[in-house]
A and B are shown apart, each in its own frame.
Chain A
Protein backbone atom coordinates (compact mmCIF):
# COMPACT_ATOMS: atom_id res chain seq x y z
CA UNK A 1 0.00 0.00 0.00
CA UNK A 2 1.36 3.43 -0.87
CA UNK A 3 1.90 6.09 1.76
CA UNK A 4 -0.79 8.20 0.09
CA UNK A 5 -3.37 5.60 1.07
CA UNK A 6 -1.93 4.93 4.49
CA UNK A 7 -2.21 8.43 5.84
CA UNK A 8 -5.88 9.12 5.13
CA UNK A 9 -7.87 8.44 8.23
CA UNK A 10 -11.55 9.23 7.67
CA UNK A 11 -13.20 11.18 10.46
CA UNK A 12 -10.19 13.37 11.31
CA UNK A 13 -10.93 17.11 11.09
CA UNK A 14 -8.54 17.34 8.15
CA UNK A 15 -10.18 14.59 6.08
CA UNK A 16 -13.64 15.95 6.92
CA UNK A 17 -12.60 19.33 5.53
CA UNK A 18 -11.10 17.67 2.47
CA UNK A 19 -14.47 16.00 1.84
CA UNK A 20 -16.35 19.28 2.20
CA UNK A 21 -14.06 21.10 -0.27
CA UNK A 22 -13.24 18.65 -3.05
CA UNK A 23 -11.96 21.48 -5.27
CA UNK A 24 -9.29 22.50 -2.73
CA UNK A 25 -6.17 20.30 -2.50
CA UNK A 26 -5.74 18.35 0.71
CA UNK A 27 -2.19 19.64 1.04
CA UNK A 28 -3.36 23.26 0.97
CA UNK A 29 -6.10 22.55 3.50
CA UNK A 30 -3.48 20.93 5.72
CA UNK A 31 -1.12 23.89 5.34
CA UNK A 32 -3.92 26.30 6.22
CA UNK A 33 -4.87 24.36 9.32
CA UNK A 34 -1.27 24.00 10.47
CA UNK A 35 -0.91 27.77 10.20
CA UNK A 36 -4.21 28.21 12.00
CA UNK A 37 -3.48 25.90 14.91
CA UNK A 38 0.32 26.20 14.97
CA UNK A 39 2.83 23.40 15.44
CA UNK A 40 4.71 21.83 18.26
CA UNK A 41 8.04 20.18 17.49
CA UNK A 42 8.76 17.14 19.66
CA UNK A 43 12.23 16.60 21.07
CA UNK A 44 12.77 13.90 18.45
CA UNK A 45 11.76 16.30 15.70
CA UNK A 46 14.18 18.90 17.04
CA UNK A 47 16.93 16.29 17.33
CA UNK A 48 16.49 15.51 13.61
CA UNK A 49 17.39 19.14 12.91
CA UNK A 50 20.89 19.62 11.53
CA UNK A 51 21.83 23.33 11.37
CA UNK A 52 24.32 22.49 8.62
CA UNK A 53 21.52 21.13 6.44
CA UNK A 54 18.36 22.83 7.73
CA UNK A 55 17.28 26.34 8.50
CA UNK A 56 16.68 27.02 12.16
CA UNK A 57 14.40 29.60 13.76
CA UNK A 58 15.40 33.05 14.78
CA UNK A 59 15.84 35.24 11.73
CA UNK A 60 12.26 36.45 11.31
CA UNK A 61 10.97 39.92 11.95
CA UNK A 62 7.84 38.76 13.84
CA UNK A 63 7.60 36.36 16.80
CA UNK A 64 6.03 33.01 17.70
CA UNK A 65 2.93 31.95 19.59
CA UNK A 66 4.89 30.43 22.44
CA UNK A 67 7.03 33.58 22.66
CA UNK A 68 10.26 31.57 22.73
CA UNK A 69 13.35 31.90 20.55
CA UNK A 70 14.91 28.44 20.53
CA UNK A 71 16.61 26.14 18.06
CA UNK A 72 13.76 24.71 15.99
CA UNK A 73 13.15 24.12 12.29
CA UNK A 74 12.47 27.46 10.64
CA UNK A 75 9.53 26.03 8.71
CA UNK A 76 8.29 23.12 6.62
CA UNK A 77 7.94 22.02 3.02
CA UNK A 78 5.12 19.75 1.88
CA UNK A 79 5.39 17.18 -0.91
CA UNK A 80 4.03 19.56 -3.56
CA UNK A 81 6.65 22.23 -2.83
CA UNK A 82 4.23 24.23 -0.68
CA UNK A 83 5.80 25.94 2.29
CA UNK A 84 4.21 26.10 5.70
CA UNK A 85 5.56 29.02 7.67
CA UNK A 86 5.18 27.58 11.14
CA UNK A 87 4.66 29.33 14.43
CA UNK A 88 5.72 27.11 17.32
CA UNK A 89 2.75 26.90 19.66
CA UNK A 90 2.43 25.57 23.23
CA UNK A 91 1.12 21.96 23.27
CA UNK A 92 -1.83 22.92 25.51
CA UNK A 93 -3.25 25.00 22.64
CA UNK A 94 -3.79 21.84 20.55
CA UNK A 95 -1.35 22.48 17.71
CA UNK A 96 -0.32 19.97 15.06
CA UNK A 97 2.72 18.01 16.11
CA UNK A 98 5.89 17.42 14.10
CA UNK A 99 7.46 14.15 15.16
CA UNK A 100 9.54 11.43 13.57
CA UNK A 101 7.89 8.52 11.77
CA UNK A 102 10.15 5.82 10.32
CA UNK A 103 13.05 8.17 11.00
CA UNK A 104 11.57 11.07 8.99
CA UNK A 105 9.65 14.18 10.10
CA UNK A 106 5.87 13.98 9.73
CA UNK A 107 2.91 16.09 10.70
CA UNK A 108 0.67 14.43 13.27
CA UNK A 109 -2.76 15.28 14.60
CA UNK A 110 -4.16 13.43 17.63
CA UNK A 111 -1.46 10.81 17.18
CA UNK A 112 -2.30 10.16 13.51
CA UNK A 113 0.58 10.55 11.04
CA UNK A 114 -0.87 12.76 8.32
CA UNK A 115 1.84 13.87 5.99
CA UNK A 116 5.55 13.66 5.48
CA UNK A 117 7.37 17.02 5.64
CA UNK A 118 10.83 18.39 4.96
CA UNK A 119 12.56 21.04 6.99
CA UNK A 120 13.57 24.06 4.95
CA UNK A 121 17.07 23.46 3.58
CA UNK A 122 19.82 25.80 4.77
CA UNK A 123 21.37 27.90 2.02
CA UNK A 124 25.13 27.79 1.52
CA UNK A 125 25.73 31.36 2.74
CA UNK A 126 24.23 30.64 6.17
CA UNK A 127 27.55 29.32 7.42
CA UNK A 128 29.41 32.52 6.59
CA UNK A 129 30.02 35.87 8.29
CA UNK A 130 29.75 39.32 6.72
CA UNK A 131 32.68 41.74 6.42
CA UNK A 132 31.70 43.26 9.78
CA UNK A 133 31.69 39.85 11.41
CA UNK A 134 27.91 39.41 11.67
CA UNK A 135 26.56 35.99 10.64
CA UNK A 136 25.23 36.52 7.12
CA UNK A 137 21.91 34.91 8.03
CA UNK A 138 21.31 37.78 10.43
CA UNK A 139 21.55 40.20 7.51
CA UNK A 140 19.77 38.26 4.77
CA UNK A 141 17.64 35.23 5.54
CA UNK A 142 16.09 32.66 3.25
CA UNK A 143 12.98 30.77 2.38
CA UNK A 144 13.22 27.75 0.09
CA UNK A 145 13.41 29.99 -2.99
CA UNK A 146 13.48 33.53 -1.63
CA UNK A 147 16.05 35.90 -0.13
CA UNK A 148 14.64 37.99 2.72
CA UNK A 149 15.97 41.36 3.69
CA UNK A 150 14.52 42.87 6.87
CA UNK A 151 16.59 46.05 6.92
CA UNK A 152 14.89 47.84 9.80
CA UNK A 153 13.38 45.84 12.60
CA UNK A 154 11.46 48.67 14.18
CA UNK A 155 8.27 50.46 13.18
CA UNK A 156 7.86 54.14 14.01
CA UNK A 157 4.10 53.71 14.42
CA UNK A 158 5.08 52.42 17.84
CA UNK A 159 6.66 55.80 18.75
CA UNK A 160 3.31 57.00 20.04
CA UNK A 161 1.98 53.51 20.78
CA UNK A 162 -0.03 53.25 17.58
CA UNK A 163 1.38 50.00 16.20
CA UNK A 164 -0.98 47.36 14.83
CA UNK A 165 -2.96 45.33 17.35
CA UNK A 166 -1.60 41.97 16.12
CA UNK A 167 2.04 43.07 15.75
CA UNK A 168 4.98 42.08 17.97
CA UNK A 169 7.79 43.60 15.93
CA UNK A 170 9.16 45.57 18.89
CA UNK A 171 9.20 42.61 21.27
CA UNK A 172 10.83 40.52 18.57
CA UNK A 173 13.41 43.24 17.91
CA UNK A 174 14.39 43.23 21.57
CA UNK A 175 14.66 39.44 21.65
CA UNK A 176 16.48 39.36 18.31
CA UNK A 177 19.13 41.88 19.30
CA UNK A 178 19.54 40.45 22.78
CA UNK A 179 19.54 36.74 22.05
CA UNK A 180 20.65 36.52 18.44
CA UNK A 181 22.68 39.70 17.92
CA UNK A 182 20.62 40.67 14.89
CA UNK A 183 21.36 44.30 13.89
CA UNK A 184 18.26 46.54 14.13
CA UNK A 185 19.26 48.55 11.07
CA UNK A 186 21.27 47.08 8.22
CA UNK A 187 24.02 48.69 6.20
CA UNK A 188 22.96 48.68 2.51
CA UNK A 189 26.49 47.91 1.28
CA UNK A 190 26.70 44.92 3.59
CA UNK A 191 23.27 43.73 2.42
CA UNK A 192 24.43 43.93 -1.19
CA UNK A 193 27.53 41.92 -0.38
CA UNK A 194 25.54 39.16 1.36
CA UNK A 195 23.11 38.96 -1.57
CA UNK A 196 26.13 38.56 -3.86
CA UNK A 197 27.34 35.66 -1.73
CA UNK A 198 23.88 34.06 -1.69
CA UNK A 199 23.62 34.20 -5.49
CA UNK A 200 26.67 31.98 -5.80
CA UNK A 201 24.42 29.07 -4.89
CA UNK A 202 23.02 27.91 -8.21
CA UNK A 203 19.32 27.20 -8.54
CA UNK A 204 18.43 28.23 -5.03
CA UNK A 205 16.71 31.61 -5.20
CA UNK A 206 14.04 33.04 -7.46
CA UNK A 207 13.31 36.37 -5.80
CA UNK A 208 14.62 39.07 -3.50
CA UNK A 209 12.20 40.26 -0.84
CA UNK A 210 12.46 43.36 1.26
CA UNK A 211 10.34 44.64 4.14
CA UNK A 212 10.73 46.66 7.28
CA UNK A 213 8.57 48.47 9.77
CA UNK A 214 7.19 51.82 8.63
CA UNK A 215 9.48 54.84 8.92
CA UNK A 216 7.41 58.02 9.07
CA UNK A 217 10.31 60.53 8.83
CA UNK A 218 11.42 62.60 5.84
CA UNK A 219 10.45 65.82 4.09
CA UNK A 220 7.29 64.03 2.95
CA UNK A 221 6.09 61.37 5.42
CA UNK A 222 7.84 58.07 4.65
CA UNK A 223 10.55 59.63 2.47
CA UNK A 224 13.08 58.17 4.88
CA UNK A 225 11.62 54.69 4.35
CA UNK A 226 11.71 55.15 0.57
CA UNK A 227 15.28 56.48 0.64
CA UNK A 228 16.40 53.53 2.71
CA UNK A 229 14.74 50.98 0.41
CA UNK A 230 16.26 52.68 -2.62
CA UNK A 231 19.71 52.60 -1.04
CA UNK A 232 19.37 48.90 -0.30
CA UNK A 233 17.86 47.94 -3.64
CA UNK A 234 20.61 49.80 -5.47
CA UNK A 235 23.23 47.79 -3.63
CA UNK A 236 21.30 44.58 -4.25
CA UNK A 237 20.93 45.53 -7.92
CA UNK A 238 24.69 45.69 -8.38
CA UNK A 239 24.65 41.89 -8.27
CA UNK A 240 22.48 41.57 -11.41
CA UNK A 241 23.23 41.98 -15.10
CA UNK A 242 19.69 43.20 -15.80
CA UNK A 243 18.31 46.55 -14.61
CA UNK A 244 15.22 44.81 -13.18
CA UNK A 245 15.23 41.55 -11.23
CA UNK A 246 12.43 39.46 -9.67
CA UNK A 247 11.73 41.20 -6.40
CA UNK A 248 9.01 42.19 -3.98
CA UNK A 249 8.82 44.99 -1.48
CA UNK A 250 6.28 45.14 1.29
CA UNK A 251 6.22 48.77 2.35
CA UNK A 252 3.92 51.45 3.63
CA UNK A 253 1.33 52.82 1.19
CA UNK A 254 3.46 55.42 -0.54
CA UNK A 255 2.48 58.46 -2.54
CA UNK A 256 2.61 58.14 -6.31
CA UNK A 257 5.76 60.27 -6.63
CA UNK A 258 7.50 58.11 -4.04
CA UNK A 259 6.46 54.96 -5.87
CA UNK A 260 7.72 56.38 -9.16
CA UNK A 261 11.13 56.95 -7.58
CA UNK A 262 11.15 53.48 -6.12
CA UNK A 263 10.40 51.94 -9.50
CA UNK A 264 12.65 54.19 -11.60
CA UNK A 265 15.73 54.13 -9.38
CA UNK A 266 15.84 50.43 -8.51
CA UNK A 267 15.39 46.97 -9.97
CA UNK A 268 12.17 46.41 -8.03
CA UNK A 269 9.46 44.60 -10.00
CA UNK A 270 6.51 44.35 -7.63
CA UNK A 271 4.96 46.20 -4.74
CA UNK A 272 2.89 45.11 -1.79
CA UNK A 273 1.37 47.31 0.86
CA UNK A 274 -0.59 45.51 3.53
CA UNK A 275 -3.93 46.98 4.49
CA UNK A 276 -4.28 44.10 7.00
CA UNK A 277 -8.09 44.19 7.23
CA UNK A 278 -10.66 45.17 4.60
CA UNK A 279 -12.99 47.29 6.67
CA UNK A 280 -12.51 50.94 7.50
CA UNK A 281 -13.69 50.81 11.08
CA UNK A 282 -11.62 47.75 11.93
CA UNK A 283 -8.60 49.24 10.13
CA UNK A 284 -8.86 52.37 12.27
CA UNK A 285 -9.18 50.26 15.38
CA UNK A 286 -6.47 47.65 14.70
CA UNK A 287 -3.99 49.72 12.67
CA UNK A 288 -4.11 53.14 14.37
CA UNK A 289 -0.68 54.21 13.08
CA UNK A 290 -1.63 53.48 9.50
CA UNK A 291 -4.93 55.26 10.05
CA UNK A 292 -3.25 58.29 11.59
CA UNK A 293 -0.58 58.76 8.92
CA UNK A 294 -2.43 57.65 5.79
CA UNK A 295 -6.02 56.58 6.38
CA UNK A 296 -8.03 53.69 4.99
CA UNK A 297 -9.36 55.24 1.80
CA UNK A 298 -6.04 56.85 0.95
CA UNK A 299 -4.29 53.49 1.54
CA UNK A 300 -6.54 51.88 -1.03
CA UNK A 301 -6.12 54.77 -3.47
CA UNK A 302 -2.34 54.47 -3.23
CA UNK A 303 -2.53 50.75 -3.97
CA UNK A 304 -4.54 51.47 -7.09
CA UNK A 305 -2.10 54.23 -8.09
CA UNK A 306 0.75 51.73 -7.78
CA UNK A 307 -0.80 49.58 -10.54
CA UNK A 308 -0.04 52.37 -13.03
CA UNK A 309 3.62 52.10 -12.07
CA UNK A 310 4.20 48.39 -11.46
CA UNK A 311 1.47 46.99 -13.70
CA UNK A 312 -1.60 44.82 -13.06
CA UNK A 313 -0.77 41.62 -11.25
CA UNK A 314 2.35 43.19 -9.75
CA UNK A 315 0.64 45.06 -6.91
CA UNK A 316 -1.13 43.48 -4.00
CA UNK A 317 -2.17 43.91 -0.42
CA UNK A 318 -2.16 41.49 2.49
CA UNK A 319 -4.73 40.63 5.12
CA UNK A 320 -4.04 39.28 8.58
CA UNK A 321 -7.07 37.08 8.14
CA UNK A 322 -9.03 36.42 11.28
CA UNK A 323 -8.55 39.74 13.07
CA UNK A 324 -11.77 40.93 11.41
CA UNK A 325 -13.60 38.45 13.66
CA UNK A 326 -11.65 39.03 16.85
CA UNK A 327 -13.06 40.63 19.96
CA UNK A 328 -16.22 42.60 20.62
CA UNK A 329 -15.78 44.88 17.60
CA UNK A 330 -15.24 42.14 15.02
CA UNK A 331 -17.81 40.94 12.50
CA UNK A 332 -20.53 38.94 14.19
CA UNK A 333 -20.28 35.90 11.92
CA UNK A 334 -17.82 34.31 9.53
CA UNK A 335 -20.41 34.57 6.74
CA UNK A 336 -20.62 38.31 7.21
CA UNK A 337 -16.83 38.66 7.46
CA UNK A 338 -16.39 36.68 4.26
CA UNK A 339 -18.98 38.62 2.33
CA UNK A 340 -17.72 42.04 3.44
CA UNK A 341 -14.02 41.18 2.97
CA UNK A 342 -14.47 39.64 -0.47
CA UNK A 343 -16.63 42.50 -1.65
CA UNK A 344 -13.90 45.05 -0.79
CA UNK A 345 -11.23 42.74 -2.25
CA UNK A 346 -13.28 42.62 -5.45
CA UNK A 347 -13.33 46.39 -5.62
CA UNK A 348 -9.52 46.36 -5.48
CA UNK A 349 -9.21 43.47 -7.94
CA UNK A 350 -11.36 45.33 -10.45
CA UNK A 351 -8.71 48.07 -10.32
CA UNK A 352 -5.76 45.69 -10.73
CA UNK A 353 -4.85 45.11 -7.07
CA UNK A 354 -4.75 41.56 -5.76
CA UNK A 355 -5.49 40.66 -2.15
CA UNK A 356 -3.70 37.82 -0.36
CA UNK A 357 -4.22 36.41 3.10
CA UNK A 358 -2.02 35.23 5.87
CA UNK A 359 -3.61 33.12 8.55
CA UNK A 360 -3.56 35.25 11.68
CA UNK A 361 -1.57 33.63 14.41
CA UNK A 362 -2.38 35.37 17.72
CA UNK A 363 0.88 36.14 19.49
CA UNK A 364 1.25 36.60 23.24
CA UNK A 365 2.81 40.08 23.23
CA UNK A 366 0.07 41.73 21.17
CA UNK A 367 -3.19 43.55 21.91
CA UNK A 368 -5.22 40.83 20.15
CA UNK A 369 -3.12 38.00 21.58
CA UNK A 370 -5.88 36.71 23.85
CA UNK A 371 -8.34 36.06 21.01
CA UNK A 372 -8.63 33.02 18.77
CA UNK A 373 -8.27 33.01 15.02
CA UNK A 374 -11.08 31.88 12.70
CA UNK A 375 -12.30 28.41 11.74
CA UNK A 376 -10.62 26.26 9.09
CA UNK A 377 -13.73 26.58 6.92
CA UNK A 378 -13.42 30.34 7.04
CA UNK A 379 -9.83 30.29 5.84
CA UNK A 380 -10.59 27.81 3.08
CA UNK A 381 -13.54 29.86 1.86
CA UNK A 382 -11.55 33.08 2.01
CA UNK A 383 -8.62 31.53 0.12
CA UNK A 384 -11.00 30.18 -2.53
CA UNK A 385 -12.70 33.57 -2.79
CA UNK A 386 -9.45 35.54 -3.22
CA UNK A 387 -8.21 33.06 -5.82
CA UNK A 388 -11.54 33.30 -7.66
CA UNK A 389 -11.17 37.08 -7.85
CA UNK A 390 -7.80 36.66 -9.54
CA UNK A 391 -9.41 34.31 -12.05
CA UNK A 392 -12.29 36.71 -12.65
CA UNK A 393 -10.11 39.82 -13.07
CA UNK A 394 -7.20 38.02 -14.80
CA UNK A 395 -4.65 38.98 -12.16
CA UNK A 396 -1.43 36.97 -12.01
CA UNK A 397 0.19 36.76 -8.57
CA UNK A 398 3.58 35.34 -9.49
CA UNK A 399 5.53 37.78 -7.31
CA UNK A 400 3.74 36.52 -4.19
CA UNK A 401 3.42 32.87 -5.16
CA UNK A 402 4.40 29.58 -3.50
CA UNK A 403 7.92 30.07 -4.88
CA UNK A 404 8.36 33.74 -4.11
CA UNK A 405 6.61 33.84 -0.75
CA UNK A 406 4.88 30.65 0.40
CA UNK A 407 2.78 32.20 3.18
CA UNK A 408 -0.60 32.51 1.43
CA UNK A 409 -2.96 29.56 0.96
CA UNK A 410 -4.85 31.57 -1.66
CA UNK A 411 -1.76 32.12 -3.83
CA UNK A 412 -0.98 28.41 -3.50
CA UNK A 413 -4.31 27.81 -5.21
CA UNK A 414 -3.27 30.35 -7.83
CA UNK A 415 -0.45 28.06 -8.97
CA UNK A 416 -3.07 26.88 -11.45
CA UNK A 417 -4.32 30.28 -12.58
CA UNK A 418 -5.10 30.29 -16.30
CA UNK A 419 -2.20 31.40 -18.49
CA UNK A 420 -4.15 34.24 -20.13
CA UNK A 421 -1.28 35.60 -22.13
CA UNK A 422 -0.84 32.32 -24.06
Chain B
Protein backbone atom coordinates (compact mmCIF):
# COMPACT_ATOMS: atom_id res chain seq x y z
CA UNK B 1 0.00 0.00 0.00
CA UNK B 2 1.33 3.41 -0.96
CA UNK B 3 2.71 5.41 1.94
CA UNK B 4 2.22 8.54 -0.17
CA UNK B 5 -1.49 7.91 -0.36
CA UNK B 6 -1.69 7.17 3.35
CA UNK B 7 0.08 10.45 4.05
CA UNK B 8 -2.23 12.19 1.59
CA UNK B 9 -5.23 10.94 3.60
CA UNK B 10 -3.65 12.33 6.76
CA UNK B 11 -3.13 15.71 5.09
CA UNK B 12 -6.63 15.81 3.64
CA UNK B 13 -8.16 14.98 7.02
CA UNK B 14 -6.40 17.95 8.58
CA UNK B 15 -8.30 20.32 6.28
CA UNK B 16 -11.62 21.49 7.72
CA UNK B 17 -13.39 21.37 4.32
CA UNK B 18 -12.63 17.66 3.79
CA UNK B 19 -15.63 15.34 3.83
CA UNK B 20 -15.30 11.70 4.93
CA UNK B 21 -17.72 8.80 4.77
CA UNK B 22 -17.65 5.20 5.87
CA UNK B 23 -19.33 2.30 4.07
CA UNK B 24 -20.08 -0.98 5.81
CA UNK B 25 -21.92 -4.17 4.90
CA UNK B 26 -25.13 -5.24 6.60
CA UNK B 27 -26.15 -8.81 7.40
CA UNK B 28 -27.38 -9.35 3.84
CA UNK B 29 -24.24 -7.91 2.30
CA UNK B 30 -25.92 -4.64 1.32
CA UNK B 31 -23.67 -1.56 1.57
CA UNK B 32 -24.52 1.19 4.03
CA UNK B 33 -22.69 4.50 3.75
CA UNK B 34 -22.82 7.46 6.15
CA UNK B 35 -20.70 10.55 6.87
CA UNK B 36 -17.83 10.09 9.31
CA UNK B 37 -17.37 13.64 10.58
CA UNK B 38 -14.67 12.85 13.15
CA UNK B 39 -12.52 10.63 10.94
CA UNK B 40 -8.76 10.87 11.41
CA UNK B 41 -5.55 8.91 10.94
CA UNK B 42 -3.73 7.77 14.10
CA UNK B 43 0.01 7.53 14.68
CA UNK B 44 0.00 3.86 13.58
CA UNK B 45 -1.59 4.71 10.22
CA UNK B 46 -5.03 3.41 11.19
CA UNK B 47 -8.23 5.25 10.42
CA UNK B 48 -10.16 6.29 13.51
CA UNK B 49 -13.95 6.39 13.17
CA UNK B 50 -15.99 7.66 16.12
CA UNK B 51 -19.37 5.96 16.40
CA UNK B 52 -21.80 7.81 18.60
CA UNK B 53 -24.68 5.33 18.78
CA UNK B 54 -24.67 1.72 19.96
CA UNK B 55 -27.73 0.93 17.82
CA UNK B 56 -26.63 2.65 14.60
CA UNK B 57 -26.48 0.50 11.48
CA UNK B 58 -22.84 1.45 11.00
CA UNK B 59 -21.86 0.39 14.53
CA UNK B 60 -23.62 -2.93 14.13
CA UNK B 61 -22.05 -3.46 10.73
CA UNK B 62 -18.61 -2.63 12.10
CA UNK B 63 -19.19 -5.26 14.76
CA UNK B 64 -20.09 -7.76 12.04
CA UNK B 65 -16.96 -6.69 10.25
CA UNK B 66 -14.65 -7.39 13.21
CA UNK B 67 -16.52 -10.61 14.03
CA UNK B 68 -16.69 -12.09 10.56
CA UNK B 69 -13.84 -10.30 8.79
CA UNK B 70 -15.88 -8.29 6.37
CA UNK B 71 -14.23 -5.33 4.64
CA UNK B 72 -15.16 -1.72 5.23
CA UNK B 73 -14.54 1.24 2.98
CA UNK B 74 -13.75 4.84 3.87
CA UNK B 75 -13.91 7.71 1.38
CA UNK B 76 -12.15 11.01 1.96
CA UNK B 77 -12.94 13.91 -0.40
CA UNK B 78 -11.01 17.19 -0.26
CA UNK B 79 -12.14 20.63 -1.34
CA UNK B 80 -9.65 20.43 -4.25
CA UNK B 81 -11.68 17.49 -5.69
CA UNK B 82 -9.13 14.97 -4.48
CA UNK B 83 -10.86 11.71 -3.55
CA UNK B 84 -9.12 8.83 -1.78
CA UNK B 85 -10.90 5.55 -1.10
CA UNK B 86 -9.57 3.12 1.50
CA UNK B 87 -10.68 -0.46 1.93
CA UNK B 88 -9.66 -2.15 5.13
CA UNK B 89 -10.52 -4.28 8.11
CA UNK B 90 -11.78 -3.30 11.52
CA UNK B 91 -8.91 -3.81 13.90
CA UNK B 92 -10.35 -2.73 17.22
CA UNK B 93 -13.26 -1.10 19.03
CA UNK B 94 -12.20 0.93 22.04
CA UNK B 95 -15.01 1.15 24.58
CA UNK B 96 -13.17 2.25 27.70
CA UNK B 97 -9.86 3.71 28.76
CA UNK B 98 -7.90 6.94 28.36
CA UNK B 99 -8.09 7.21 24.57
CA UNK B 100 -11.83 6.51 24.58
CA UNK B 101 -12.31 9.19 27.26
CA UNK B 102 -10.31 11.69 25.22
CA UNK B 103 -12.54 11.20 22.19
CA UNK B 104 -15.63 11.21 24.39
CA UNK B 105 -14.70 14.65 25.67
CA UNK B 106 -13.93 15.83 22.15
CA UNK B 107 -17.30 14.84 20.64
CA UNK B 108 -19.13 16.41 23.56
CA UNK B 109 -17.10 19.60 23.23
CA UNK B 110 -18.18 19.77 19.59
CA UNK B 111 -21.75 18.47 19.71
CA UNK B 112 -23.01 19.07 23.26
CA UNK B 113 -24.89 16.38 25.15
CA UNK B 114 -24.03 13.30 23.10
CA UNK B 115 -22.50 9.93 23.89
CA UNK B 116 -19.84 7.81 22.24
CA UNK B 117 -20.46 4.10 21.63
CA UNK B 118 -17.00 3.13 20.40
CA UNK B 119 -13.81 4.36 18.83
CA UNK B 120 -13.30 2.10 15.82
CA UNK B 121 -9.79 1.60 14.49
CA UNK B 122 -9.61 0.51 10.86
CA UNK B 123 -6.52 -1.06 9.37
CA UNK B 124 -6.20 0.15 5.75
CA UNK B 125 -5.40 -2.64 3.28
CA UNK B 126 -5.70 -0.71 0.05
CA UNK B 127 -5.93 2.98 -0.81
CA UNK B 128 -7.09 4.06 -4.27
CA UNK B 129 -6.81 7.52 -5.71
CA UNK B 130 -10.30 8.08 -7.08
CA UNK B 131 -9.75 11.75 -7.89
CA UNK B 132 -11.62 12.28 -11.14
CA UNK B 133 -8.79 14.08 -12.94
CA UNK B 134 -6.35 11.31 -12.04
CA UNK B 135 -8.74 8.50 -13.02
CA UNK B 136 -9.68 10.27 -16.30
CA UNK B 137 -6.10 10.65 -17.38
CA UNK B 138 -5.31 7.03 -16.53
CA UNK B 139 -8.37 5.70 -18.33
CA UNK B 140 -7.68 7.68 -21.46
CA UNK B 141 -4.12 6.37 -21.62
CA UNK B 142 -4.79 2.76 -20.64
CA UNK B 143 -8.30 2.15 -21.98
CA UNK B 144 -8.69 4.19 -25.17
CA UNK B 145 -11.66 2.13 -26.40
CA UNK B 146 -13.93 3.55 -23.68
CA UNK B 147 -13.90 7.04 -25.18
CA UNK B 148 -16.79 8.46 -27.22
CA UNK B 149 -15.61 9.32 -30.68
CA UNK B 150 -17.16 12.78 -30.73
CA UNK B 151 -14.54 13.77 -28.17
CA UNK B 152 -11.86 12.96 -30.75
CA UNK B 153 -13.66 14.24 -33.82
CA UNK B 154 -12.58 17.28 -35.89
CA UNK B 155 -14.46 20.26 -34.48
CA UNK B 156 -16.68 22.41 -36.69
CA UNK B 157 -17.87 25.64 -35.21
CA UNK B 158 -17.48 26.56 -31.56
CA UNK B 159 -18.49 23.28 -29.81
CA UNK B 160 -16.18 22.38 -26.83
Contact = CB atoms under 8 A, between A and B. Distances in A.
Interface of A: 2-4, 25-28, 53, 77, 79-81, 118, 120-121, 144-145, 201-204, 403, 415-416, 419, 422
A121 B91 contact: no
Given A80-B93, A403-B95, A203 B69 contact: no
B96 A79 contact: no
Contact of B54 (A4, A79, A403, A422): A403
B41 to A, nearest CB: 17
Interface string B91-110: 11111111011001100100
Contact of A203 (B60, B64, B92, B100): B100
Contacts of A27: 66-67
B97 A4 contact: no
A27 B64 CA distance: 11
Interface string B102-138: 0011001000000110100001010000000000000
29 contacts: A3-B91, A4-B89, A4-B91, A25-B67, A25-B68, A27-B66, A77-B95, A79-B91, A79-B92, A79-B93, A80-B66, A80-B93, A81-B93, A81-B94, A81-B95, A81-B118, A121-B96, A121-B97, A121-B98, A144-B95, A144-B97, A145-B96, A201-B101, A203-B101, A203-B115, A204-B101, A416-B27, A419-B55, A422-B55
Contacts of A121: 96-98
Contacts of B91: 3-4, 79
Interface of B: 27, 54-55, 60, 63-64, 66-69, 89, 91-98, 100-101, 104-105, 108, 115-116, 118, 123, 125
A25 B60 CA distance: 14
A120 B105 CA distance: 20
Given A202-B104, A203-B101, A26 B93 contact: no
Given A81-B94, A145-B95, A2 B67 contact: no
Given A77-B96, A80-B93, A144-B95, A202 B108 contact: yes
Contacts of B67: 25-28, 80
Contacts of A3: 91
B63 A415 contact: yes
Given A118-B97, A121-B98, A203-B100, A79 B125 contact: no
Nearest to A27: B67
Contacts of B123: 2, 4
A58 to B, nearest CB: 19
A203 B66 contact: no
B69 A4 contact: yes
A81 B27 CA distance: 20
B105 A202 contact: yes
A118 B91 CA distance: 13
Contacts of B104: 202-203
Counting chain B CB atoms within 10 Å of each CB, the highest count among A26, A79, A203, A204 belongs to A203
A402 to B, nearest CB: 8
Given A27-B66, A81-B118, A121-B98, 14 more contacts: A2-B125, A4-B69, A53-B98, A77-B95, A79-B92, A80-B66, A81-B94, A203-B100, A203-B105, A203-B115, A204-B96, A403-B54, A415-B60, A415-B63
A414 to B, nearest CB: 12
Contacts of B97: 118, 121, 144
B109 to A, nearest CB: 11
Nearest to A206: B115
Contacts of A28: 67
Scoring A3, A53, A202, A419 by chain B CB atoms within 10 A of each residue's CB, the highest score goes to A202
Contacts of B64: 416
A201 B96 CA distance: 11
A177 to B, nearest CB: 29
B116 to A, nearest CB: 6
Contacts of B96: 77, 81, 120-121, 144-145, 204
Contacts of B116: 203
B52 to A, nearest CB: 12
Contacts of B94: 81
Nearest to A422: B55
Contacts of A53: 98
A202 B96 CA distance: 11
